[in-house]
Structure 1
Amino acid sequence: MVSALKVRDFRLLWGARAIAGLGTSLLVVAVPAHVYAVTGSALATGVTLAFEYLPSLLLGPFAGVPADRWDRRRLMIATDLLHALAISVALLARTPDTIWLVYAAVLGQGTAGVLFRPAAAAHTPSVVGTGPALTSANSLGAVTTGVVGLSGPPLGGLLFATSGIDGAVAASVTASLLSAAAISRIAKRPRDTAPAEGPAAAAARRVLADIGDGLRHVRRAAVTRALLATNSLYLLANAALTALLVPFAVTHLGGSVQVGYLLSALGLGFLVGAPISRRIVDRFATRPALATGQALVAGAFALLFNSSSLPLALAAAVLLGLPGVTVLVAVQTRMQRATPEGLLGRVSSVFLTAEAAATMIGALAGPAVSELSGLPVALNAACALTLLSALLTLWLLPKGATPGTHPKPSTATRRRS
């Protein structure tokens, strides 16, 4: 079994992404808590959360252009530094009149993240290739994202409780600087020189043309188009189920402490499932592997949310981890293998934008259905929607999408001249 960790540059890139992700997740609890402490307003706190979504929704379609036209290594370093600078602005917000500075800080750090992710996703195949090591890299990335997502918010909340917003921001800034330092040690790779931008109007037209190239590829490539559709539906249902996890644990399992147990069990499932997912993605064709993973996620969620005891719910959460990480790895790996190297940044940004939109819709729709029809109806409807994503995969994804196809990067579509 090929391990991406044997590649020095991947170790640096993986470490940088993990550190940067941890720095961002430290703010998930700390920043809204600071806003509420300063203003005492739930509305102000909600506005903070809305600003976190805006960069992905507004800038997502454009974020892949610099990842394909500029040096990705330098771009990632620049976005790490932008994140550190932007979030530092939150330290100046100490009164209700200055709380707008937090919104500006969140908008700035969100913009940095939107630019960082397509560049990192596109650079991974350049570092490890498109063979089995790519599956290993995406498997490691998926489990790292899960672990960071579980550990970062409570750690940030602890920092806020002990040292206020200063401690959480300082830790996040430090993480960004460490990430930039790690990326700076990655070997430079030759890339085509981007054409001179010229007048602003001409540059804008070229940017729009580049975005159009990425969208046309998604529209014309059957595999990529199918992955985008089925993954968006899957993520929407997953976001709805995640949003309902807290009220379910409180009303059916005993309280908020049980939420922590469920999240820990889910994290354990991801850790156990990561190495197995590599074998599944490389051994089986994408269509049955992805559809089976989505169906198993639907079943595990149904078991979890229809559990009457905590042990059964914990077992379901652990079982959820294996197919959950397999779905993430299968979608990411197949998209990277099906996309020419020169379009990877733009195609990745399309997927990230769709992910942000689906997550936002699901997070709002789940609780809304729960308010209208009750929690059990909302939970089971979201499980059914997850199962529907598996059926959509079987319907849309071509049968020829096999794991052994590792196309060489294309140079013909790297950039418009």
Structure 2
Amino acid sequence: MKGATFGEVFAVREFRVLFGSFALLIGGDVIKMLALSVLVYARTGSPGLSAAAYMAGWLPFIFGGLFLLSLADRVSPRALMVVGELVRAVTCLLLAYAGLPVWAMLALVLVTGLFSPVFFAARAAMLPEVLPGDAYVLGRSVLNVASASAQIVGLAAGGAVLAFAGASGALAATAGLSVVAAVVLRAGLPFRPARGATGSGAVRETLRVNRRLLADGRVRGLLLAGWLPCVCLAGAEAMVVPYLGGQGQAGVVLAAAAAGMAAGEFAVGRFAAPELRERLSLPLAVLLGVPWVGFALGPGIAWAAVLAATATAGLSYQLGLQRRFVDAAPEEVRGQAFGLQSAGLMTGQAAGAALVGALGEVIGPGPAIAVAGGGGILVALALAGVLRPSPATQPAPR
């Protein structure tokens, strides 16, 4: 199979729209959660509530993924994405100017966030329709690079906006970005009908299709291969701040981790042929865990940054799974399949951070990071049968 090029991917107008709106979404979300955390801390003086505010935007993925994902296949994807941006804009404006008590602010973020996995699923499921074949995998690579870059830019821009306009101004700026993204999506994407027919209630249908997807051995294996190595990665990254004992030094290491992810995604997506990309899934998944084991030796900030960047470059292992996942997921529930993939990843990362965090309380941050890395290696090897494609799943030559 001939590999796609970045030029071919960006030549597709619908992809350019999805790319631009996605970058606005990720950057805006980073600014929103940072501003909300600062606003809650300013009102309460509680570090715990401030941290809870920062995480509140991700927790609903667990419940939305369990009960609402069928909406991704029962509503037009363009409509879902536009509504998602408008909901985010209204939420930010209410947080900024409605004078809500802290409990109501957190409740608002949690309730409106229940539909976030549905909006993400609509975007993810539309991508293989816009970019067929290997262009889809390269498009995913580009979006992953954009995600890492937007997070770094969002944190920097969020800090600047907070210093200039305060938390309320930063939330208002995020609302503005969401409105711009909604206009871009509405004007730039053609109408596409829903994939699935309406039938039973959304909750019942979501539960039914989730059971169907998890009962399919091929889909279940690919889901686990996408989730479990990242659980160990999230646990290791969660210990970086206590390991270094300072937010500033930890920021350097976490920024290096984001840069490593972007570099790995770019290199594997751009320079590895489709067949090679799939064969690399196993060694890259192993790479995701190996460098973290080095934290058992107590490296300083420079070596810690190098190890973190090397490890996260292994996240590009997921590119070798993408084509197979599209082929395995039934087309009529593709939106829910991608939503389940995303919701499980978010849930697993939260669980990994909690588990390794608890371990760090007992044995210390450095050894806990090393254990997380060792766990990542064992998980990758246990999933070798899925990560290493069989000849039957290899792309057909053209």
TM-score (norm 1): 0.85
**Alignment-derived partner of residue 339 in structure 2:** 349
Residues 1:261 and 2:270 are matched in the alignment:
no
Alignment of 1:9-20 (within 5 A): 9-20=14-25
Q: Would you say how many aligned residue pairs link Structure 1 and Structure 2?
A: 390
Provide the identity percentage: 24
**Alignment-derived partner of residue 330 in structure 1:** 320
1:379 equivalent among 344, 360, 369: 369
**Alignment-derived partner of residue 229 in structure 2:** 234
**Alignment-derived partner of residue 156 in structure 1:** 158
1:182 equivalent among 184, 192, 207: 184
Q: 1:257 to 1:401 in 2, by over 3 A?
A: farther
Q: 1:305 to 1:138 in 2, by over 3 A?
A: farther
Alignment of 1:17-416 (within 5 A): 17-49=22-54, 51-92=56-97, 94=99, 98-129=101-132, 131-191=133-193, 195=197, 203-204=200-201, 207-209=203-205, 211-220=207-216, 222-250=217-245, 255-278=246-269, 279-280=271-272, 282-284=274-276, 286=278, 288-303=279-294, 306=297, 308-324=299-315, 326-396=316-386, 399-400=390-391, 402-404=393-395
Give distance in 2, aligned partners of 1:264 and 1:54.
23
1:2: how far off? 2.7
**Quick check: 1:63–1:115 contact (8 Å CA) kept in 2?**
yes
Give distance in 2, aligned partners of 1:170 and 1:192.
32
Give distance in 2, aligned partners of 1:124 and 1:56.
20
Give distance in 2, aligned partners of 1:307 and 1:372.
17
Letter in 2 for 1:277: V
Letter in 2 for 1:364: A
Give distance in 1, aligned partners of 2:144 and 2:295.
22
* Structure 2 residue matching 1:370: 3-state secondary structure: helix
| Deviation per residue, 1:125-165 (Å, 9 max, x gap) | 11112x11001110011111112223323432332233212
Give distance in 2, aligned partners of 1:392 and 1:401.
21
Structure 2 residue runs of 5 or longer lacking an equivalent are none
Q: Which moved more, 1:224-233 or 1:38-47?
A: 38-47
Give distance in 2, aligned partners of 1:192 and 1:85.
25
Q: Which moved more, 1:20-29 or 1:38-47?
A: 38-47
Residues 1:7 and 2:2 are matched in the alignment:
no
**Quick check: 2:78–2:192 contact (8 Å CA) kept in 1?**
no
* Structure 1 residue matching 2:393: 3-state secondary structure: coil
1:50: how far off? 5.5
**Quick check: 1:12–1:185 contact (8 Å CA) kept in 2?**
no
TM-score (norm 2): 0.89
1:90: how far off? 0.9
Give distance in 1, aligned partners of 2:114 and 2:71.
13
**Quick check: 1:159–1:168 contact (8 Å CA) kept in 2?**
yes
**Quick check: 1:284–1:403 contact (8 Å CA) kept in 2?**
no
| Deviation per residue, 1:310-363 (Å, 9 max, x gap) | 433333233234322x12433444322322332111111211221122111111
1:17: how far off? 0.9
1:230: how far off? 2.9
**Quick check: 2:296–2:367 contact (8 Å CA) kept in 1?**
no
Give distance in 2, aligned partners of 1:47 and 1:270.
26
Q: 1:261 to 1:41 in 2, by over 3 A?
A: closer
Letter in 2 for 1:216: R
Q: 1:401 to 1:386 in 2, by over 3 A?
A: farther
Give distance in 1, aligned partners of 2:213 and 2:232.
26
Letter in 2 for 1:229: L
Give distance in 2, aligned partners of 1:281 and 1:298.
24
Letter in 1 for 2:358: A
Structure 1 residue runs of 5 or longer lacking an equivalent are 198-202, 407-417
* Structure 2 residue matching 1:52: 3-state secondary structure: coil
**Quick check: 2:66–2:207 contact (8 Å CA) kept in 1?**
yes
Give distance in 2, aligned partners of 1:82 and 1:71.
17
**Quick check: 1:285–1:403 contact (8 Å CA) kept in 2?**
no
Q: Which moved more, 1:255-264 or 1:373-382?
A: 255-264
**Alignment-derived partner of residue 200 in structure 1:** none
Give distance in 1, aligned partners of 2:103 and 2:209.
37
Give distance in 1, aligned partners of 2:240 and 2:13.
39
**Quick check: 1:28–1:156 contact (8 Å CA) kept in 2?**
no
**Quick check: 1:55–1:111 contact (8 Å CA) kept in 2?**
yes
* Structure 1 residue matching 2:118: 3-state secondary structure: helix
**Quick check: 2:145–2:266 contact (8 Å CA) kept in 1?**
no
1:73: how far off? 0.7
Give distance in 2, aligned partners of 1:373 and 1:102.
36
Give distance in 2, aligned partners of 1:224 and 1:317.
30
Q: 1:193 to 1:146 in 2, by over 3 A?
A: closer
Give distance in 2, aligned partners of 1:224 and 1:405.
20
Give distance in 1, aligned partners of 2:311 and 2:13.
32
RMSD, aligned α-carbons? 2.6
Give distance in 2, aligned partners of 1:187 and 1:308.
49
Q: Which moved more, 1:164-173 or 1:151-160?
A: 151-160
